Structure 1
Amino acid sequence: MAVQNLTVEALRDKLNRGESLFILDVRNESDYDDWKIEGPTVHSINIPYFEFLDDEDVADERLPDETDIVTVCAKGGSSQYVAEILDGKGYNVYSLEGGMKAWSQVYNDTLVFEDDNMKLFQVNRMAKGCLSYLIVTGDEAAVVDPGRHTAFYIRLAEREGARIRHVMDTHLHADHISGGPGLAEETGATYYIASEEVQGAGYTFAPLEKEEHIHFGQVDIKVLALPTPGHTPGSTSFVVNDRFLLSGDTLFVSGLGRPDLGGKAREWAELLYDTVFHKLSDLQDQTLVLPAHYADMEEMDENGIVGASLGEIRENNRAMQTKGKEVFTELIAGAASTDTPPNFEKITAINRGKQTPDEEEATELEIGPNRCAVHHHG
């Protein structure tokens, strides 16, 4: 019997339904440790492909007899080979079509909030931990921090009977290629980003620093541009209807944005201090913080949403309880990882419109996890 292939979309849907999954990842150990498929119902083990070349029985004692097994590799070839071995042994096995390369391009949308005036969706690029947002009011929509696969957002807006009129990036992204300029061009929307982020950009944009409010729709949906430098000098957060803080990479559920990517860790950490203790201090504890990234599945709630109240984050984040500017700066600058996002210099050049990769190059540049946070639990 031929081995069954499982598409990445089918895998996403299984995770959404809460199905238990047993994943056998056959990539090298270092690749697996760096980046793998995760989820609350996922059990994952790593046995590199070359071990099966030496011994086809190498996995037998670690595999379940009754549960479906999904084999995973980088692009789908090695996992197919291992799946055929296991199929011959009588296991019920699927090979993930396209491997981690395909998985890196899967998106999932979750409704965060709905009332008579608007709907707010969180879009999760699951393999990257990248989050973006669609805000719908009437027949108009805005997108914040879109990934480069723009068709997903257009389809989502169409599903909700809306057309995208506004596209915003909270900052110049370093770990993935922004879909902002392209999505705005495709839909005729206005593209917003802070001027400081894209000096000399090769595209048209509306400077966020000139916008106090962005109104759209049949009602007054207030999207207040709030300068929140620290992760980058021009980072901007959005307060939606005084209830939701779309915080970009400034503030995460379990950490703060890392300030070292521009080579100015201390200087940007001081900016981050002013953001945390001055710019955000007036926001109520019940404000729901919705970031642009997450680093751990524990940051996701039972509804599949990555977010937390500002009060919870203030209570649980040690850096936000560090009142002295000097102490805070030392804590943040000292903890900033030297492990920069892969290819971040090339990706930021692309996001400034200075380079245009083809699809294959864009996919290769983005493979791997995001590394945009500094974590300070407890």
Structure 2
Amino acid sequence: MAVKEMNAKEMTTKVLNKEDLFIFDVRNVADFNDWKIEGENFQYLNIPYFELIDGVEDIMDQLPKDKEIVVVCAKEGSSKMVADMLSEEGLDVAYFKGGMKAWSEHLHKTKVYEDKDISVYQFVRVGKGCLSYMVVSEDEALIVDPARFVDEYIEAAKEEGATITHIVDSHLHADHISGGKELADATGGSYYLMKSEGAVFDFKPFEEHERIEFKNIELEVLAVKTPGHTPGSVSFFVNKKLLFSGDTIFVSGLGRPDLGNKVREWANDLYNTVYNKVSEIADDVIVLPAHYADFDGEMNEEGFIGDTLGNIRERNEKMFTASREDFLNDVEKSASSVKPPNFEEIVMINRGMEEVDYGRKQELEIGPNRCAVHHTD
């Protein structure tokens, strides 16, 4: 049989549709255990490529004869060679184009919300767990927490007949490289960030722009200072209907406050945010976070990742009802979990203190997001 290829868009469709698929991952065991393509009805086999150099005869009994098999590796090369060997054995097999690097970079666009004033789109970075957004009002667009793939946002805005005029980052990201500054340079749009996050390039500080209005106030964005994940974390309250919560509130948890090595101090800020600021926001407001941890568990029936604040309060009841001391202790328990790889270098890049080429950006971002604190029982 001829060897087929499967690209990231096709793989995303299978994830979204909860299709059956057998993934044969030929990366090292540690890499596979740390991060893989996840689907609710996927089955897996992980055997490192170097164990297959002499052939695949010894592992044929571990592979299905009646199901499509996709071979995955880091960059593509090894998976093509293994797929060729499996095809010669008569199996229906494809290799995953671009490997896990391509999976890390794919953005899936979906509509979140629409009324007479605004249209809102979510960009799901399925392989990385990152979320970004485009809010369109008439012929102008706001981009929230953009990834570094700036051409995709520009093209998406063009499809809506809009120009990107405002770009906002909810905080200084530690697990991926922001596209905010580059997108502003490419479009001439205004880029907003908290001054306290330490960026050294020109931007508009939220400390001086607590309200952003354009298109005759049909789209109003209120920056709500919500420290905790980082000291300068903010959330964006749009038209009193949508809360772009950054890494402060997730569908199934809260942003981890331990990346600055001040876990107790920042956790105290997070507690104040949850109990003094978020508590004032109505239950029917739709929360749209900057990350997710569980694609299948956090994607709703409408096809996007988000939920009403009321449902999130119920789902994470203990986090939203704990005493200050219990809250701080709970966060400290989770603070020993693995930190985002290369996060210190990524922070330096996002501050504008370091420049790297495209290849290095790819390397720095490999792996899952690790920005959430989930309640530990």
TM-score bin (small chain):
over 0.9
* CA separation of 1:18 and 1:162: change in aligned 2, threshold 3 A: farther
The residue number in structure 1 matching 2:37 is: 37
Matches within 5 A, 1:1-378: 2-16=2-16, 19-53=19-53, 56-198=56-198, 201-297=199-295, 298-376=297-375
- For 2:333, what is the secondary structure of its paired residue? helix
Q: Which amino acid aligns with 1:333?
A: E
Q: Which amino acid aligns with 1:357?
A: V
The structural deviation recorded for 1:338 is: 4.0
Q: Which amino acid aligns with 1:327?
A: D
Q: Return 62-71 or 74-83, whichever deviates more.
A: 62-71
Aligned counterparts of 2:40 and 2:138: Cα–Cα separation in 1 = 35
Cα displacement string for residues 225-278 of structure 1 (whole angstroms, at most 9, x for unaligned residues) = 000000000100011111111110111111111111001000000000000000
The structural deviation recorded for 1:318 is: 4.5
Cα displacement string for residues 111-148 of structure 1 (whole angstroms, at most 9, x for unaligned residues) = 01112211111111111000001000111000000000
The structural deviation recorded for 1:45 is: 2.9
The structural deviation recorded for 1:154 is: 0.5
- For 1:44, what is the secondary structure of its paired residue? strand
Q: Which amino acid aligns with 1:260?
A: D
Aligned counterparts of 1:100 and 1:289: Cα–Cα separation in 2 = 29
Root-mean-square deviation (CA, aligned residues, Å) is 1.7
Q: Which amino acid aligns with 1:310?
A: L
Alpha-carbon contact 1:26-1:73 (below 8 Å) kept: yes
Q: Which amino acid aligns with 2:115?
A: D
Aligned counterparts of 2:123 and 2:319: Cα–Cα separation in 1 = 27
Q: Which amino acid aligns with 1:129?
A: G
Aligned counterparts of 1:321 and 1:226: Cα–Cα separation in 2 = 18
The structural deviation recorded for 1:67 is: 2.3
- For 1:346, what is the secondary structure of its paired residue? helix
Cα displacement string for residues 266-292 of structure 1 (whole angstroms, at most 9, x for unaligned residues) = 000000000000011110111111110
Alpha-carbon contact 1:209-1:225 (below 8 Å) kept: no
Aligned counterparts of 2:306 and 2:272: Cα–Cα separation in 1 = 22
Aligned counterparts of 1:236 and 1:164: Cα–Cα separation in 2 = 21
Aligned counterparts of 2:124 and 2:265: Cα–Cα separation in 1 = 31
Aligned counterparts of 1:218 and 1:103: Cα–Cα separation in 2 = 40
The structural deviation recorded for 1:54 is: 5.4
* CA separation of 1:39 and 1:193: change in aligned 2, threshold 3 A: same
Cα displacement string for residues 81-118 of structure 1 (whole angstroms, at most 9, x for unaligned residues) = 11011101111111112210121111111101112211
Q: Return 367-376 or 16-25, whichever deviates more.
A: 16-25
Aligned counterparts of 1:24 and 1:319: Cα–Cα separation in 2 = 39
- For 2:280, what is the secondary structure of its paired residue? coil
Q: Which amino acid aligns with 1:245?
A: L
TM-score by length of 2: 0.95
* CA separation of 1:69 and 1:252: change in aligned 2, threshold 3 A: same
- For 2:23, what is the secondary structure of its paired residue? strand
Aligned counterparts of 2:58 and 2:113: Cα–Cα separation in 1 = 48
- For 1:122, what is the secondary structure of its paired residue? strand
Q: Which runs of 5+ in 1 are unaligned?
A: none
Q: Which amino acid aligns with 1:289?
A: V
Aligned counterparts of 1:313 and 1:230: Cα–Cα separation in 2 = 18
Alpha-carbon contact 1:318-1:376 (below 8 Å) kept: no
Alpha-carbon contact 1:69-1:92 (below 8 Å) kept: yes
Aligned counterparts of 2:266 and 2:376: Cα–Cα separation in 1 = 21
Cα displacement string for residues 21-63 of structure 1 (whole angstroms, at most 9, x for unaligned residues) = 3211111111111111113343333222233235513432332
Aligned counterparts of 2:356 and 2:46: Cα–Cα separation in 1 = 32
* CA separation of 1:139 and 1:255: change in aligned 2, threshold 3 A: same
Q: Return 300-309 or 6-15, whichever deviates more.
A: 6-15
Aligned counterparts of 2:336 and 2:216: Cα–Cα separation in 1 = 45
- For 2:166, what is the secondary structure of its paired residue? strand
* CA separation of 1:88 and 1:263: change in aligned 2, threshold 3 A: same
Aligned counterparts of 2:21 and 2:322: Cα–Cα separation in 1 = 44
Q: Return 248-257 or 44-53, whichever deviates more.
A: 44-53
Q: Which amino acid aligns with 2:107?
A: Y
